[in-house]
A and B are shown apart, each in its own frame.
Chain A
Amino acid sequence: MEDNIETIVNCSNVSVFYGDNKAINNITISIDKKSITAFIGPSGCGKSTFLRTINRMNDTIDGCRMEGTILVDGQNIYDPSIDVVPLRAKIGMVFQKPNPFPKTIYENVAYGPRIHGLASSKSELDDIVEKALKGAGLWNEAKDRLNESGTGLSGGQQQRLCIARTIAVEPQIILMDEPCSALDPIATSKIEELMADLANNYTIIIVTHSMQQAARVSEKTAYFHLGNLIEYGNTKEIFVRPKDPQTEAYISGKIG
């Protein structure tokens, strides 16, 4: 049934240390291609840290060290010969608090393609911007305001702008670190619906502290606790009949 689904990210025995403190403990997991995978778990369980190892954002943190292998599309992304810059174009990230650049809406989306040289003319760049804004469900609201500042949009719109910015560089994978936690329920629903759409073209990994959100949007869910991967499986299975009693305890609200 689901054995034919390709995996795009393969993590083996991944551990992450902040100085001497082991934050992530020996995790092995494979993420399916073009589907939505959710990472859930209580605060401080390491799900965000683990997410950030996938696009090497942890490199920017002093004292952060990683062990193990992570293969993306068959390539070891921690190999010394890998340049982190194109890697981050291939694996985009959307953050918890919407962080559009203090520039125009057009510039926000065009920045990535411009620095990677994805457009050879202004009209090509215009096309890329339009396509990205459409893909993020923001085109209708933004097309007459392209020269206005990105920070003038509402929270939900700003987050969609950040999504547009991410998909403008045509990534394969989009990492989302609690993208809706700063948004109201309607904006959240709109983004969840958008994610369903995006999953047709991109692999999405979302870290969320809302179990209901993980249940709604993902095909597979991974439950983390204190830096360990406790259970990983189909979302429906996890939420209806989880195998591990720790998972069950968390999902039914028996632990915090």
Chain B
Amino acid sequence: MARTRTEEIVISGLNLRQKKERNYKYLGMFAIAISMAFLLVLLISIASKGIPGFFQYYATLEIELNKERLDPRGDLSDQSLFEGEAKQIINEAILQFTQANTRNEKKAARKLLSNGSDTRLSEYIKNNKDKLNTKQLVRFVLDDDADSYFRGFIKKDTPEKQRRLNDIQIEYLDKMKNEGLISYGVSDYLFFGSASRNAEMAGIKGAAIGSALTLFVCFIIAFPIGVATAVYLEEFAPKNKFTELIEININNLAAVPSVVFGILGLAIFIKLFGMPRSIPLVGGLVLALMTLPTIIISSRAAIKAVPPSIRDGALGVGASKMQTTMHHVVPLAIPGMLTGTIIGMAQALGETAPLLMIGMVAFIVDIPGGVTDPGTVLPVQIFMWADFAERMFVQKTSAAIIVLLIFLMLMNGGAVWLRRKLERRW
């Protein structure tokens, strides 16, 4: 078949076109490969630093569970255990094992286990009261320096003066290792412990609960107000210069640095209203202010996406504007609103600066019981840990970062899943 002029021109240019397309494709693949590589490097470095933070070294010792000494009042109450001699019994056990004699040796031996071992023993007794007055093998956590030794951060060949462990301690630790008393397991302190100066006892439980409470407050305040605002602005507000101004301002607020909200919170909630610092209530309020613009903007988009034919259908049947909006438009916009809210929440979860401004940095050992108890949040906890020198804090910090990242990924993934699941075909 004879070729038309167009065909001739196209065919002659075909090679060049295909070459260009191929190059473009390779360029794209290359770019993706580089970003994947960077991502991989990032993830590997986080993982390699953080995963060890999930584990801890334990030492198992044989303890004589003398009831009268451990539980003088005999009722296993906290007061009784406090008055008991748990610490002494543990020290006796370790001294016996190490055969320490001199004062220096004894001092060295006593420092091998974690300071919280007595609490641990008390917990053990409470959970195993039938084993009182017997000899049992109890697992204890090593002191963070001892733990660091086994991880290889404290080396024998460093001069003794520059080490945190002296030679005697190292000798004892080696002995424990050789007798099989040392084990490596998942750290229960990380998740169930709270802030502590002792690196081995430090955990994220308090910060995690503080984050949860703060986010809860943020959601309770920001979601209803944000959704209601969006509904009002989209459906009911008259279209004039004033509402235009509001819209511009909301859009701008979304771009304001979060620190500014912290300063605002400091000035208004803490100074003006006199609310206490460092409580999830105030933290939640500040984060709510920060998240509101995001929620309003995404909710407005969700409302705009509801097709006018639905509104026409409702109006045509005699529904009032309020009924049309509440019964039809809003339910159809909820998926989009929720998605935007979850993304806003995920953002709030990772915020540090505004919360620092309102003082949620207190060293808080107790776990907050409610929104008016002092607490801290996970990113702030990470920030604080980053300051401490002990090697173990480095690992725990990385581990906490991993936990935070996982939560963020879950929340964002949840938002995507929710959006897909609730997508309706009108």
Cross-chain contact B424 with A115 (CB below 8 angstroms) = no
B323 beta carbon closer than 8 Å to chain A: yes
Cross-chain contact A92 with B316 (CB below 8 angstroms) = yes
Name B316's contact: one of A55, A115, A151 (CB within 8 Å).
A55
Cross-chain contact A57 with B316 (CB below 8 angstroms) = yes
Q: How far is the CA of A211 from the CA of B311 in the complex (A)?
A: 30
What chain B residues lie within 8 Å of A97 (beta carbons)? 309
B5 beta carbon closer than 8 Å to chain A: no
Please tell me the number of chain A residues within 8 Å of chain B, measured between CB atoms: 27
The smallest C-beta distance from B307 to any residue of chain A, in angstroms, reads: 8
Write the B317-352 contact mask toward A (1 if CB under 8 angstroms, else 0).
111100100011000100000000000000000000
Name B318's contact: one of A62, A85, A101 (CB within 8 Å).
A85
Cross-chain contact B316 with A101 (CB below 8 angstroms) = no
Q: How far is the CA of A92 from the CA of B313 in the complex (A)?
A: 10
Q: How far is the CA of A88 from the CA of B332 in the complex (A)?
A: 23
Write the A92-116 contact mask toward B (1 if CB under 8 angstroms, else 0).
1111010111100000000110011
A86 beta carbon closer than 8 Å to chain B: yes
What chain A residues lie within 8 Å of B311 (beta carbons)? 60
Choose the segment among A64-72, A120-128, A133-141, A162-170 that binds chain B (4+ C-beta atoms closer than 8 Å). Answer: A162-170
Please tell me the number of chain B residues within 8 Å of chain A, measured between CB atoms: 20
Cross-chain contact A115 with B313 (CB below 8 angstroms) = no
Cross-chain contact A101 with B425 (CB below 8 angstroms) = no
Known: A89-B318, A115-B323, A169-B318. A101 touches B424 (CB 8 A): no
The smallest C-beta distance from B60 to any residue of chain A, in angstroms, reads: 62
The smallest C-beta distance from B371 to any residue of chain A, in angstroms, reads: 38
Q: How far is the CA of A101 from the CA of B323 in the complex (A)?
A: 14
What chain B residues lie within 8 Å of A151 (beta carbons)? 425-426
What chain A residues lie within 8 Å of B132 (beta carbons)? none
B3 beta carbon closer than 8 Å to chain A: no
In residues 266-300 of chain B, which contact A (Cβ within 8 Å)? none
Cross-chain contact A88 with B315 (CB below 8 angstroms) = yes
The smallest C-beta distance from A31 to any residue of chain B, in angstroms, reads: 18
Cross-chain contact B315 with A60 (CB below 8 angstroms) = yes
What chain B residues lie within 8 Å of A60 (beta carbons)? 311, 315
B312 beta carbon closer than 8 Å to chain A: yes
Cross-chain contact B320 with A101 (CB below 8 angstroms) = no
Cross-chain contact B309 with A99 (CB below 8 angstroms) = yes
What chain A residues lie within 8 Å of B315 (beta carbons)? 57, 60, 88
Closest B residue by C-beta to A162: B313
Cross-chain contact B316 with A62 (CB below 8 angstroms) = no
What chain A residues lie within 8 Å of B313 (beta carbons)? 95, 99-101, 162, 165
What chain B residues lie within 8 Å of A88 (beta carbons)? 315-318
B233 beta carbon closer than 8 Å to chain A: no
Name A115's contact: one of B309, B312, B319, B426 (CB within 8 Å).
B319
Q: How far is the CA of A85 from the CA of B318 in the complex (A)?
A: 5
Cross-chain contact A95 with B239 (CB below 8 angstroms) = no
Q: How far is the CA of A97 from the CA of B316 in the complex (A)?
A: 14
Cross-chain contact A166 with B239 (CB below 8 angstroms) = no
B314 beta carbon closer than 8 Å to chain A: yes
The smallest C-beta distance from B303 to any residue of chain A, in angstroms, reads: 15
Q: How far is the CA of A44 from the CA of B309 in the complex (A)?
A: 20
Q: How far is the CA of A193 from the CA of B316 in the complex (A)?
A: 23
Q: How far is the CA of A133 from the CA of B332 in the complex (A)?
A: 25
The smallest C-beta distance from B289 to any residue of chain A, in angstroms, reads: 33
Known: A95-B309, A99-B310, A101-B310. A112 touches B424 (CB 8 A): no
What chain B residues lie within 8 Å of A55 (beta carbons)? 316
Cross-chain contact A102 with B239 (CB below 8 angstroms) = no
Q: How far is the CA of A116 from the CA of B313 in the complex (A)?
A: 15
Write the A60-91 contact mask toward B (1 if CB under 8 angstroms, else 0).
10100000000000000000000001111100
Q: How far is the CA of A55 from the CA of B239 in the complex (A)?
A: 24
What chain B residues lie within 8 Å of A62 (beta carbons)? 239
What chain A residues lie within 8 Å of B320 (beta carbons)? 85
What chain B residues lie within 8 Å of A86 (beta carbons)? 318
What chain A residues lie within 8 Å of B309 (beta carbons)? 95, 97, 99
The smallest C-beta distance from B331 to any residue of chain A, in angstroms, reads: 9
Cross-chain contact A101 with B328 (CB below 8 angstroms) = yes
Name A99's contact: one of B312, B318, B425 (CB within 8 Å).
B312
Q: How far is the CA of A116 from the CA of B332 in the complex (A)?
A: 22
Q: How far is the CA of A95 from the CA of B424 in the complex (A)?
A: 21
Cross-chain contact A102 with B316 (CB below 8 angstroms) = no
What chain A residues lie within 8 Å of B312 (beta carbons)? 57, 93, 95, 99
Cross-chain contact B327 with A111 (CB below 8 angstroms) = yes
Cross-chain contact B319 with A102 (CB below 8 angstroms) = no
In residues 45-59 of chain A, which contact B (Cβ within 8 Å)? 55, 57
Q: How far is the CA of A111 from the CA of B319 in the complex (A)?
A: 9
The smallest C-beta distance from B351 to any residue of chain A, in angstroms, reads: 37
Known: A57-B312, A99-B309, A101-B310. A111 touches B317 (CB 8 A): yes
- Among A88, A94, A97, A169, max chain B CB count under 10 A is at A88
The smallest C-beta distance from A51 to any residue of chain B, in angstroms, reads: 12
Q: How far is the CA of A111 from the CA of B320 in the complex (A)?
A: 13
Q: How far is the CA of A26 from the CA of B323 in the complex (A)?
A: 34
Closest B residue by C-beta to A114: B327
The smallest C-beta distance from B317 to any residue of chain A, in angstroms, reads: 4
Closest A residue by C-beta to B317: A112
Cross-chain contact B318 with A115 (CB below 8 angstroms) = yes
The smallest C-beta distance from A47 to any residue of chain B, in angstroms, reads: 17
Closest A residue by C-beta to B312: A95
Using CB atoms and an 8 Å cutoff, list the residues of chain B in contact with chain A.
239, 309-320, 323, 327-328, 332, 424-426
A to B CB contacts below 8 Å, 24 in the list = A57-B316, A60-B311, A85-B320, A88-B316, A88-B318, A89-B317, A92-B316, A92-B317, A99-B309, A99-B313, A102-B310, A102-B332, A102-B424, A111-B319, A111-B327, A112-B317, A112-B318, A112-B319, A115-B317, A115-B318, A115-B319, A151-B425, A162-B313, A165-B317
Q: Which 9 A-B pairs have the closest CB atoms?
A: A89-B318, A93-B316, A99-B309, A112-B317, A88-B318, A99-B313, A85-B320, A85-B318, A102-B424
- Beyond A85-B318, A111-B314, 16 additional contacts (C-beta under 8 Å) are A55-B316, A57-B312, A60-B311, A85-B320, A86-B318, A88-B315, A93-B316, A94-B316, A99-B310, A101-B313, A102-B310, A102-B424, A112-B318, A112-B319, A115-B319, A115-B323
